[in-house]
């Protein structure tokens, strides 16, 4: 017996969920993209957690632990909890706006050109993130079934497209709750078995190689900060997560959900760190990106390993669904709809599903050119965070930010990231150390020299927004 039957059964249940919500709840583009703005608290917490803990954490994050050790990994993982603390102050504001995409939200403050540029940069970033979800899916199916990794990635793409095309955010959100619970449950079940294999916490610490037992893992302080910052700036402005706040049934639910999100992410990161650290000792010659998968398939009992691998697969699939939905929103609402003229909700729903298929195919082929989930995730986090997060925060908190400043910030952050990456990351520094300061300087400097009266976000609900609740 293998873990494959458990994964197949779980995948079928996800498809059934998607079909159910497609027939029962998804009647418009608004339902498809933001669940009609009516998700309850527990569902928002679950979908925030599961959306964030995709392959960037389970593959890339675990790979970082395996290569650099648990103490250095604390720097890598710390960015997300710190970012969630900032999100606490913007969650209710985001729900108040009740928009479907981040560019649509930015247009209120900074105009249509900012919306267009933001949509383009989000699509560039998210296509990369979606690609490494497919890479991770290929890893799992290769290990559990023996299929070639590209074939596994292709099957993952098919499942993701089917799920995203049917139930939209409703099906993604509710299956996310189950996936988040199961991955935590599976990790907790694994702890006694893992600790018995490594001789407890004391034995684990004593068995680590010298480099992996240091605070830095062989990295300089600048390099450690270069890993912390991308996750910090990315999570604050991540359109996927802001859409979850917009999908909440009201502002109180959106704000409270950040507390559960913080606890969930911190718990899962701690468990990932323990399991990946154990892999350093128990499986010293594996590919770093596969640390958790190998632990689940080689070290743990089949019953426990199967639960983890099934939840692992589900998290990757639902995270990929989220990115597909999010990008289809940008393509349809921020680009296609603006050039083709206003569409009705049924038309938006139909076009969104078409774009889901097209984007999924493009992301699959892009993923065939990359091999490192960690490298690709850091690049994507930096591109998005440096270009867009300063503008998003300025929209909420800095009244003097101008349209010219926002445009300068987006272009500077995005272009600087690409150039630094193309130069081969001089000094071993990740691009965020250069692109983030430059984008913030561009925002502040250009805003101050072009100061003029700007639109502002609403501070209370309009009649239509009250009805939407």
Residue 463 pLDDT:
38
Q: Has residue 365 got a pLDDT over 90?
A: no
pLDDT tens-place string over residues 160-185? 888 878 778 887 888 888 888 888 88
d(CA 235, CA 117): 20
Residue 464 pLDDT:
41
User: Token pair for residue 38?
Assistant: 């009516």
Ranking 181-185, 375-379, 413-417, 437-441 by mean pLDDT, the lowest is 375-379
Ranking 88-92, 294-298, 336-340 by mean pLDDT, the lowest is 336-340
Q: Has residue 71 got a pLDDT over 70?
A: yes
Half-sphere exposure of 390 (CA within 13 A, CB side): 31
Q: Has residue 462 got a pLDDT over 70?
A: no
Ranking 37-41, 152-156, 313-317 by mean pLDDT, the lowest is 313-317
* Contact between residue 137 and residue 309 where contact means Cβ atoms under 8 Å apart: no
Between 239-247 and 41-52, two packed helices, what is the crossing angle to 10 degrees? 170
Residue 86: pLDDT band by 50, 70, 90 thresholds? very high
Residue 466 pLDDT:
43
How many whole angstroms from its chain centre is CA 182? Answer: 19
Cα 142 to Cα 3, 51, 155, 354, 368, distances in angstroms: 12, 23, 11, 29, 15
With a pLDDT cut of 70, the percent of the chain lying above it is 92
With a pLDDT cut of 90, the percent of the chain lying above it is 38
Q: Which residue has the tokens 């970012």?
A: 83
- Mean pLDDT, rounded, of the chain: 85
Residue 134: pLDDT band by 50, 70, 90 thresholds? confident
* Contact between residue 334 and residue 365 where contact means Cβ atoms under 8 Å apart: no
d(CA 171, CA 21): 6
DSSP structure class, residue 334:
I
Of residues 36 and 26, more confidence is placed in 36
- State the average pLDDT over residues 313-324: 82
Q: Has residue 469 got a pLDDT over 60?
A: no
* Contact between residue 52 and residue 235 where contact means Cβ atoms under 8 Å apart: yes
Structural domains in the chain?
Answer: 4-382 (1.20.1730.10)
Residue 467 pLDDT:
35
* Contact between residue 19 and residue 163 where contact means Cβ atoms under 8 Å apart: no
User: Token pair for residue 102?
Assistant: 């981040």
Least Cα distance to 338 among 155, 115, 134 occurs for: 115
What does residue 248 show for φ and ψ, rounded to 5 degrees?
Answer: -65, 155
Residue 413 pLDDT:
94
How many whole angstroms from its chain centre is CA 390? Answer: 18
Q: Has residue 403 got a pLDDT over 90?
A: yes
* Contact between residue 328 and residue 359 where contact means Cβ atoms under 8 Å apart: yes
Residue 150: pLDDT band by 50, 70, 90 thresholds? confident
Ranking 226-230, 336-340, 410-414 by mean pLDDT, the lowest is 336-340
d(CA 434, CA 442): 12
- State the average pLDDT over residues 125-149: 78
d(CA 324, CA 209): 40
Ranking 130-144, 234-248, 253-267, 419-433 by mean pLDDT, the lowest is 130-144
- State the average pLDDT over residues 222-234: 89
pLDDT tens-place string over residues 240-287? 999 999 999 999 999 999 999 999 999 999 999 999 999 999 999 888
Residue 376: pLDDT band by 50, 70, 90 thresholds? low
* Contact between residue 368 and residue 349 where contact means Cβ atoms under 8 Å apart: no
Residue 377 pLDDT:
66
Q: Any bridge partners for residue 103, and if so which?
A: none
* Contact between residue 374 and residue 60 where contact means Cβ atoms under 8 Å apart: yes
């Amino acid at each position: 017996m293998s873990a494959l039957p458990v994964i197949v059964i779980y995948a079928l249940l996800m498809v059934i969920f998607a079909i159910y919500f497609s027939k029962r709840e998804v009647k418009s583009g608004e339902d498809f993209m933001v669940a009609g703005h009516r998700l309850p608290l527990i569902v928002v917490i679950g979908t925030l957690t599961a959306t964030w803990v995709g392959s960037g954490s389970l593959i890339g994050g675990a790979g970082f632990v395996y290569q650099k050790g648990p103490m250095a990994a604390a720097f890598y993982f710390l960015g997300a909890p710190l970012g969630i603390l900032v999100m606490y102050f913007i969650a209710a504001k985001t729900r108040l706006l009740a928009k479907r995409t981040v560019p649509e939200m930015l247009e209120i403050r900074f105009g249509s050109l900012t919306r267009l540029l933001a949509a383009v940069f989000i699509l560039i970033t998210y296509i990369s993130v979606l690609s490494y979800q497919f890479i991770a899916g290929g890893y799992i199916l290769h290990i559990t079934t023996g299929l070639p990794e590209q074939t596994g990635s292709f099957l993952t793409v098919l499942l993701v497209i089917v799920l995203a095309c049917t139930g939209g955010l409703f099906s993604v959100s509710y299956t996310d709750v189950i996936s988040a619970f199961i991955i935590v449950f599976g990790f907790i079940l694994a702890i006694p078995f893992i600790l018995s294999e490594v001789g407890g916490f004391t034995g684990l610490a004593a068995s680590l190689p010298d480099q992996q037992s240091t605070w830095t893992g062989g990295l300089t302080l600048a390099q450690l900060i270069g890993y912390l910052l991308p996750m910090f700036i990315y999570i604050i402005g991540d359109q996927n997560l802001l859409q979850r706040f917009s999908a909440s049934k009201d502002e109180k639910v959106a704000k409270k959900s950040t507390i559960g999100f913080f606890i969930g992410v911190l718990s899962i990161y701690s468990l990932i760190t323990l399991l990946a650290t154990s892999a350093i000792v128990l499986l010293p010659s594996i590919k770093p990106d596969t640390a958790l998968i190998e632990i689940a398939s080689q070290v743990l009992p089949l019953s426990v390993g199967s639960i983890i691998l099934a939840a692992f697969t589900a998290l990757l699939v639902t995270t990929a669904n989220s990115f597909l939905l999010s990008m289809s929103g940008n393509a349809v609402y921020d680009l296609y709809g603006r050039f083709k003229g206003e569409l009705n909700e049924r038309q938006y729903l139909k076009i969104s599903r078409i774009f889901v298929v097209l984007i999924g195919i493009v992301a699959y082929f892009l993923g065939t050119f990359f091999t490192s989930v960690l490298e690709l995730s850091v690049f994507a986090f930096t591109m998005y965070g440096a270009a867009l997060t300063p503008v998003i925060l300025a929209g909420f908190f800095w009244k003097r930010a101008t349209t010219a400043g926002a445009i300068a910030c987006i272009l500077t952050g995005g272009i600087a990231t690409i150039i630094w990456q193309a130069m081969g990351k001089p000094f071993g520094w990740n691009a965020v150390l250069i692109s983030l300061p430059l984008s913030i300087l561009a925002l502040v400097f250009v805003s101050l020299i072009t100061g003029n009266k700007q639109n502002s976000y609403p501070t209370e609900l309009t009649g239509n927004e009250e009805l939407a609740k």
